[in-house]
Structure 1
Amino acid sequence: MENKEQLERLAYEYQLLQAQAQLLAQNLELLTLGKNEFQAVKETLEGLKNVEEEKPEILVPIGAGSFLKGRIEDKNNAIVSVGSGYAIEKSIDDAIVYLEERIKEYESAIAKTQEALHQLEHKLQELAQKAQQLQQKQAMSFKVPKK
């Protein structure tokens, strides 16, 4: 009976850790998407620095894969989101530095999340091994009643 209770406890703990791992994996996906978005903006601004035209023509996305033609009036400055619905104007170089800092923050958060996920996966493997050992003990101690 003791083995059965231990197996039930291990199964419950395994389910909890599995749920935590799933949340961490989802968080990791969101962090990666966020980092990629900042990276794309940074690359766009870096590309803009190399454009010689004073007011280059661009395509402005308006949704559903549709665009409007437009012109960049000021290619030396960008309005950058600083969070909580606020945005500020920065020079292109300052905006790139700001974006690089945000990317580094994302990379740090990604690394920490990956490490936490790795530790959880290790714990899950340990629990699975313990459960397997208990099941083997239980199977070996099972006796067929004599008639």
Structure 2
Amino acid sequence: MSLGGGGQQQLQQLSQEIQALEEEKEELKGDIEALQAEKAEIEEAKEALDVLETGSTVQVPLGGDAYVRAEIEDIDEVVVSLGGGYAAEQTSDDAVDVLEEKKGAVDERIEDVREEISTVEEEQSSLEQQAQQAQQQMMQQQMQAQEQQQNGE
């Protein structure tokens, strides 16, 4: 007679749920890394706008890791992505303002993802406690079954 078969199934299910939460947490951490890279690019763009002047020579990416040298005709004409596939020409100061707004939005998204990670960790901890309790119950049931078997002999 097999006691605790349902407990074993419960443990397996809890283990699978814990594993799924761990994978979700790792994915969320990857999202944070991507957001931090985006934030670093925004910072680089802001710094470049502060340093560059009309007449400066820069490397312009063409794609595929190919670049061409170009001379800045007018630093006060900056095209900035507004999101959703749209871009607009801005003055240098306005471009910095747009970049600041983007950075703020990225910071908010990072904070949201961190909160989500915290929620996942709490859920994971709760499931781990349930698994530990289920395992202890199974052990107690096995010990009781052994005692009953020994007393019955």
Give the drift of 1:77.
Answer: 1.9
Give the drift of 1:123.
Answer: 1.6
Aligned residue-pair number: 143
Matches within 5 A, 1:25-104: 25-48=29-52, 51=53, 54-62=54-62, 67-104=67-104
> Aligned partners of 2:48, 2:42: CA distance in 1, in Å?
10
Report the TM-score when normalising by structure 1.
Answer: 0.81
Give the greater-gyration-radius structure (CA): 2
Give the drift of 1:59.
Answer: 2.8
Report the TM-score when normalising by structure 2.
Answer: 0.78
Partner of 2:118: 118
> Aligned partners of 2:67, 2:136: CA distance in 1, in Å?
64
Does residue 16 of structure 1 match 2:45? no
In structure 2, do the counterparts of structure 1 residues 12 and 64 end up closer, same or farther at CA, with 3 Å as the change threshold? closer
- Identity rate of aligned residues, in percent? 31
Partner SS state of residue 102, structure 1: helix
Gaps of 5+ in 2: none
**1:91-135 deviation digits (Å, cap 9, x = unpaired):** 000000010001000000100110110121122122112212221
Q: Which moved more, 1:94-103 or 1:134-143?
A: 134-143
In structure 2, do the counterparts of structure 1 residues 118 and 5 end up closer, same or farther at CA, with 3 Å as the change threshold? same
